[in-house]
Amino acid sequence: MIRLENIVWTPPGKGRAPVLDGVSFGIPSASYAVLMGRTGSGKTTLLEILCGLRAPGSGAVWIDDREVTALPPGERGIGYVPQDGALFPTLTVRQQIGFGLRMRGIPPAEIESRLLEAAGSVGVSALLDRLPPGLSGGERQRVALARALVVKPSVLLLDEPLASVDEETQDDLMELLRRTRREHGITVLHVTHSRREAEGLGEWQLRLEGGRVHASSTTT
């Protein structure tokens, strides 16, 4: 479950208008929500506030009945997949996927078995020894997804994950995202510009406009 209460965020600098001006909405557990909005409307800022990468001016963030507004990103139980995957430039796919487990002090044997499982679930088992420059756009997104899922987050935050891949790869990744939500029982918030993605994936559709989430609807 994700809940935002009256989130306000204003860019630094005198006389700037708030980008987020009292954003409040909730997404039930294990559901797939899509957030749309124009470029510059504050979608990525909102995701960063959810991740704990940016502090809101005021308001509260709740994840799974726990207020996480003041918690650091690593303690929020989230998985984050930014646009183009943001893979670690010098780490192999194996090291990328195992990174979160290593940071959590998981024993090496368990890291290996969990990363193999995560890599298998997104179809990148054959790519484990590759570095990011040797991956296609779709493969990068799959690796980024495995890296986020391997630490078993309760919430998955996707920032335009399909924006930089071709239509055929988009279809494959959309199917993967549907399956991921189903198999992991995870709450997903997916930011996109694409109506096709919103209609193909979102049970909940949210629209960020004028600093607020104006409309929300269910498609299923």
Partner 1 sequence: MSPAHRVSPFWIALGLVAAGYLGFWFAMLAATATYTSPGEVMEVLLSREIRYATLLSLVTCTASALLSVAVAVPVGYLMSRRRFPGHAVVDAALDIPIVLPPMVVGICLLIFFQTRAGGLIEQAIPLTYTVGGVIVAQFVIAAAFAIRTMRNVFDHLSPRPEQVALTLGATPLQAFRHVTLPAARSGMFAAASVAWARSLGEFGPILVFAGATRMKTEVLPTSVWLAWSVGELEQGVAVSLLMIAISMMVLVAVKMTGERV
Closer to partner 1 by Cβ: residue 23 or 148: 148
Min dist. Cβ of residue 185 to partner 1 (A): 20
Select from 82, 87, 83 the least CA-distant residue to 163. Answer: 83
Min dist. Cβ of residue 97 to partner 1 (A): 10
Min dist. Cβ of residue 217 to partner 1 (A): 29
Closer to partner 1 by Cβ: residue 152 or 214: 152
Closer to partner 1 by Cβ: residue 140 or 181: 140
Min dist. Cβ of residue 99 to partner 1 (A): 6
Closer to partner 1 by Cβ: residue 76 or 212: 76
**Positions in the binding site for partner 1 (CB under 8 A):** 12, 48, 51-53, 72-76, 78-80, 82, 86-91, 99-100, 103-104, 144, 147-148, 151
Closer to partner 1 by Cβ: residue 75 or 175: 75
Min dist. Cβ of residue 52 to partner 1 (A): 8
